Chain A
Amino acid sequence: MANQKSFSLPGIMTSDSSLPWLLPLITMLVVFAIIPFFYNIYLSFHEFVPLKRALIFVGWDNWIRLFTDGVFWGSLKVSLYYTFVCLIIQLVLGMGIALLIDSDDPGFGIIRSVLTLTLVIPPAIAGMIFLIMEDANYGLIPWALKSIGLIGQEDTILSDPSLALWGVMIVDIWQWTPFMVLILVAGLRSLPSEPFESAMIDGAKPFQIFRRLTLPMLHKVIAVAVLIRGIDLWRMVDYVFVLTSGGPGTATYTLSLYSWQRFTFVQWGYGATISLFSLLVILIVGNAFIHFAKVKW
């Protein structure tokens, strides 16, 4: 520490106050997160009127319209279905794969590396990959399903109202199941081995060990993975945008996509209202989850 005197420093950095260190972060969050949030509330009480070329105050009209709009309720249902079904499938599948590849044997390191690859693909491009694989005429997924007789010769995936959402969800499951796998493997690897050894000696069955030991000890890791994945599933818009644009009809509108679509139709106030609703839901549910699952950072 001989030369610290010659090291010139801004005076405000010499105190032990944390404010100067946090100031850039707080500025950024206030200007680009808090102000837009309140601006969004402002927008939800206004609507653009093309004839006047201006935003006009409309009171609660947007919110009344929201709760009487069938497409909104449909997209809320799609968002909820998408979030919960994908979350459960990814968690169960991820846990199964994690238990399988949690091993020091040669080869499993490479398998884990291969599984990281899907995570860095831009979701829009992941959507493109499945767009060609699910194409009605030359996609290999419909072709394979027809070959083994799971769907009829004339059936399609993405233009069929009952299958289209699954056509979108399969992309999410493909891309993000490895997310669960990697987090759960890391959790499994950090568990102490003694309780498992003594349970084996006591003659416990593998399923009992999993239920009584593994799951409770992984509780925190599972909670974090579910929280982060749940948030991202709720916010998802890239896949539907690329694969179906919400169609056929309104069968695959999620809240985010519907909000974006209203926005492009210059219903700025109503679009903002839908997005604000979506934001409030995830803020309340997310923070409640953090509280009750006792997730700590």
Chain B
Amino acid sequence: MNKILKQVIGWFIAAVFFFPIYFWITVSLKKDKDIFALPPKLFDFELSFQAYEEVFGLSRFLYVEDMGAVRPGGGDFYMMPNLVDSIIIALGSTGLAMMISILAAYALSRLPMRGQQHFMGWILSTRMMPPVAVAIPMFFIYKNIGLMDTHLGIIIIHALMNLPLAVLLMKSFFDDIPKDIDEAALLDGASRFFVFWRLIVPLAIGGIAATAVLCFIFSWTEFIFVLMLTQTGLKTIPVVSTSFVTSTGTAWDNMAALGTAAIIPAFIFILLVQRHLVRGLTLGSVKQ
């Protein structure tokens, strides 16, 4: 095929897939009259940052500070606490999933084990479970043990959700490191844990970072567990963004401001680990 034609079609496809994102960003910067305009105003709308100010309380924050007390908060659309909840949960669940999975993946990659294929199959099967089928029993278990509506409860369930990904992906990164390194060090009298912690983990640090980023993003974007396992105590961004739809109308600009703020850090993260993205998406089975 003609090279120029290929370029043109390629860029057209990229534009089609990027368009909804662009449109969403413009909604967050528009005033109501432009949001509802048809034909849609894609470039020539009046810029407004009011939605961001309402969602992140910037103006309120500055105002209150002038009065001598820093105490942001208030309005219906103020979402700072939810942003903090989202960050706590994503960081916590990523940390928990990584601690468990790095140890397990090293063993699966290096140590002899009976029935390893079955064990891996079992891990993969947990990746198949529909979230609803886990969340319904967890609802009752959490109610009984007091994890309902808590950060810790969501951190655990998100870590669990990410474990199959993290274990299988980390195993593939450990598999890439020659086993000779371990064996040479073991012959020199080093212990297994020393080899793991001082030699293999530093060598796999790029893979660990990529795995952690994916865990972070999947926790950041997760919806149904937070919806079903929290009541009033906390709400992450995907769940709270549905609360902008009310019977009296939808606050599109606020919702878009929150949505835009939620996706931009994820964009930056994913572009940083793009090299390992396909491997991550396929749980370590397709290497780039």
| Interfacial residues, chain A to chain B (CB-CB below 8 A) | 1, 4, 7, 9-10, 13-18, 21-22, 24-25, 28-29, 32-33, 35-37, 39-40, 43, 97, 100-101, 103, 105, 107-108, 110-111, 113-126, 128-133, 137-138, 140, 143, 174, 177-179, 182-183, 185-187, 189-190, 221, 224-225, 228, 231, 234-235, 237-238, 241-242, 255-256, 259-260, 263, 268, 271-272, 275-276, 278-279, 282-283, 286-287, 290, 295-297
Once the chains bind, are B140 and A16 in contact (CB under 8 Å)? Answer: no
B211, CB-defined interface residue at 8 Å: no
Interface size class of B (residues with CB under 8 A): 35 or more
Once the chains bind, are B10 and A7 in contact (CB under 8 Å)? Answer: no
Which one of B55-63, B65-73, B261-269 is at the A interface? B261-269
**Residues from 203 to 244 in B contacting A, C-beta threshold 8 Å:** 217, 220-224, 227-228, 237-239, 241-242
Q: Which residues of B sit under 8 angstroms from A275, Cβ to Cβ?
A: 130, 132-133, 136
Question: In the complex, what distance in Å separates the CA atom of A111 from the CA atom of B183?
Answer: 43
Question: Apart from A35-B137, A43-B136, A235-B129, what are 4 other A-B pairs with CB-CB below 8 Å?
Answer: A122-B220, A129-B259, A237-B131, A256-B131
- Of the candidates B38, B128, B228, B267, the one whose C-beta lies within 8 Å of that of A260 is B228
Question: In the complex, what distance in Å separates the CA atom of A15 from the CA atom of B112?
Answer: 12
Question: In the complex, what distance in Å separates the CA atom of A127 from the CA atom of B126?
Answer: 26
**Residues from 159 to 176 in B contacting A, C-beta threshold 8 Å:** 159-160, 163, 167-168, 171
Once the chains bind, are B191 and A14 in contact (CB under 8 Å)? Answer: yes
B29 CB to closest chain A CB (Å) equals 14
Q: Which residues of A sit under 8 angstroms from B107, Cβ to Cβ?
A: 18, 21-22
**Residues from 166 to 196 in B contacting A, C-beta threshold 8 Å:** 167-168, 171, 185, 188-194
A124 CB to closest chain B CB (Å) equals 4
Once the chains bind, are B132 and A256 in contact (CB under 8 Å)? Answer: yes
B152, CB-defined interface residue at 8 Å: no
- Of the candidates A32, A37, A113, the one whose C-beta lies within 8 Å of that of B156 is A32
Q: Which residues of A sit under 8 angstroms from B259, Cβ to Cβ?
A: 122, 125, 128-129
Q: Which residues of B sit under 8 angstroms from A97, Cβ to Cβ?
A: 13
